[in-house]
A and B are shown apart, each in its own frame.
Chain A
């Protein structure tokens, strides 16, 4: 009696044979003890495989390993924020003409801005800031140092006088009541720390 080829039996157990072949194999297996036992063996192997793969290898301390991975994932996410672009929007082709127009408008606006007297630009800046924030922001007066997750900045009457931003986000920022702000950066290659500060006076 001709038996089913071994590779066909192996594929039969997961329904991966073509329809015609599958029917033929089923017909044969129903009448052949030997091939039926082969099919059962393959099925048992599949089940056994699922069981062992679900088990942790003996030499793995899962508690420690998962804690380590969780910590590394957290840090990796935090680090990834500083090199990923802030905006990741898909741009449809039809957007390009609109982008060109927006770019031209921005250039024109900038040229107009440059030609305005300084006081006007500052007050306009504050007004724009207020509009951006829904009109709810009180105008900022005086010298302000600010530290947040993206870096440190010195402002006067709401206008930036200086910022300190490396190419990456700082790993820590701080502010001193004497009027300075500092940001710590880590060099990703050497681990060297650099601390940059801006001063209100």
Chain B
């Protein structure tokens, strides 16, 4: 039968390349590989390239003397060409020395049909409970994991305080309100394009409004982007360091309001800067943000994290983030989402147990 011949031919093609896979951790890595299960990891051919569907379940051991709080692994099929790299980060861990923990990964990556390189899992960084860091940090894991850990501590402290001062019912109320906000956040797809936009609609300059945090070391003074329809291109923001410490990096949240009046955080704007105390600088991004199915009416920015030259960080306090618009538009921290999930699954008793662990 012709159909069975074609099926046979396709099966042969798919397995033509033997797929090499490896987990590559440095010899002095604070985490060691216990087991890895590659599951359904396989290569499929499409046009001039192979896709690799990576499904990996790793079990890692904390072989250091400190508690591990977070980790980022990078999965590579090719180092240089786009499409060959993805990462997986696990925040809010609390792995004691000697303990093991799981890391799961599901992604489709690209690699050239002629390439013989294996699928590699490498370590980009490990964060410890003293906020010490280990790793090559090629994906800026130190920054990302440290900010997440600081947010996690801030939010856990907040919920513990609610429990202590106002009791379980108040904590439950917080959980329910957080869940309701998470469910109500607008589901809007966002595309980010590096370089010039393809939109031919007439552009207009649209200014940013800013939500200011009085305690923020960096103030966003003014900003604008060129907007046409559902695209915003080349955002630029003037920032001012009002602290007495040099700043080397900052990240801003970019909130957009669409024609229906829905507000949501469309993107984040990270920027490496050199900002001495009291100095100002322009942050410019050569990128276009596109919102399928929506049109951009207004934009609001806010400073979401700052890294000082000495490697320490600032993040907004819980009080600062309690602004009604921010609560509606911005996703809660990964830790808050994790806690609300525990509340859903295990109830208030389970949540209280979890909060006691930290």
Per DSSP, are chain B's interface residues mostly helix, strand or loop, or mixed?
A: mixed
User: Which one, A20-28, A31-39, A45-53, A145-153, is touching chain B?
Assistant: A145-153
What is the minimal beta-carbon distance from A115 to any residue of chain B, in angstroms? 10
Task: Mark A170-185 against chain B: 1 for CB-CB distance below 8 A, else 0.
Answer: 0111111111010010
B345 touching A191, Cβ below 8 Å = yes
Find out whether the CB atom of B108 lies under 8 angstroms from the CB atom of A176.
no
CB-CB under 8 A from A74, the residues of chain B are 179-180, 183
- The reply on B202 being an interface residue by CB < 8 A is no
Query: Are the C-beta atoms of A174 and B265 separated by less than 8 Å?
Result: yes
Known contacts A177-B192, A199-B85: does B198 contact A162 (CB below 8 Å)? no
Would you call A111 an interface residue if the criterion is a C-beta within 8 Å of the partner chain's C-beta atoms? yes
Can you name 24 A-B pairs with beta carbons within 8 Å? A72-B344, A78-B183, A107-B7, A107-B10, A114-B10, A121-B47, A162-B84, A162-B107, A171-B337, A175-B191, A176-B267, A177-B192, A177-B269, A181-B192, A186-B338, A192-B102, A192-B338, A193-B91, A193-B334, A195-B90, A196-B88, A197-B89, A199-B82, A199-B139
B264-292 toward A: CB 8 Å interface, digit per residue (1/0)?
01111110000000000000010101000
Residues of B contacting A67 in the complex (Cβ-Cβ under 8 angstroms)? 176
Chain A's closest residue to B232 (CB) is A177
> Do the beta carbons of A200 and B10 come within 8 Å of each other?
no
Contact call A107/B3, Cβ cutoff below 8 A: yes
Chain A residue contacts of B6, Cβ below 8 A: 107-108, 111
Judging by beta carbons under 8 Å apart, are B108 and A75 in contact? Answer: no
What 4 A-B pairs are tightest by C-beta distance, nearest first?
Answer: A161-B83, A118-B48, A148-B189, A121-B47
List, in ascending order, chain B residues with CB within 8 A of A200's CB. 82, 192, 194
Contacts of B342 in A (CB 8 A): 191
Do the beta carbons of A172 and B331 come within 8 Å of each other? yes
A163 touches B (CB below 8 Å)? yes
Would you call B9 and A111 a contact (CB within 8 A)?
A: yes
- On whether the beta carbons of A192 and B9 are closer than 8 Å, the reply is no
Asked whether B104 lies within 8 Å of A145 as measured between CB atoms, the reply is no
B: which residues have CB within 8 A of A? Answer: 3, 6-7, 9-10, 13, 45-49, 82-93, 102-110, 139, 169, 172, 176, 179-180, 182-183, 187-196, 198, 235, 254, 265-270, 285, 287, 289, 331, 334-335, 337-338, 341-342, 344-345, 354
Is there a chain B Cβ closer than 8 Å to A126's Cβ? no
Whether, in the assembled complex, A164 has its beta carbon less than 8 Å from a beta carbon of chain B, the answer is yes
| Most A C-beta atoms less than 10 A away, residue of B3, B45, B265, B341 | B341
Q: Is A44 close to B, CB under 8 A? A: no
Q: Chain B nearest CB: distance from A108 CB in Å?
A: 6
How many residue pairs link A and B with beta carbons under 8 A? The number is 204
Q: A107 CA to B92 CA in the complex, in Å?
A: 45
Asked if B187 and A148 make an inter-chain contact with CB atoms under 8 angstroms apart, the answer reads yes
Given A147-B190, A148-B189, does the pair A174, B108 have CB atoms closer than 8 Å? no
Which residues 70-109 of A have a CB within 8 angstroms of B?
71-72, 74-75, 78, 104, 107-108
A107-B3, A114-B46, A200-B192 known; 4 new pairs, CB 8 Å cut-off, are: A175-B266, A186-B337, A191-B338, A191-B341
Whether A199 touches B267, Cβ cut-off 8 Å, given contacts A162-B108, A193-B337, is no
Please give the distance in Å from B40's CB to the nearest CB on chain A.
11
A121 to B45, CA, bound (A): 13
CA distance A166 to B106 in the complex (A): 5
Q: CB-CB < 8 A to A71: which residues of B?
A: 176, 179-180, 183
* Contact status A195-B192, CB under 8 Å: no
Q: Give the CA-CA distance A166 to B39 in the complex, in Å.
A: 14
The 8 Å CB contact of B13, one of A114, A173, A175, is A114
> Is A30 an interface residue when CB atoms closer than 8 A count as contact?
no
Does the CB pair A163–B108 fall under 8 Å? Answer: yes
Whether A162 and B86, one on each chain, are in contact in the complex, defined by CB atoms closer than 8 angstroms, is: yes
Q: How far is the CB of B75 from chain A (nearest CB, A)?
A: 9
Q: Do B287 and A179 touch across chains, with their CB atoms under 8 A apart?
A: yes
CB distance from A185 to the nearest CB of B (A): 9
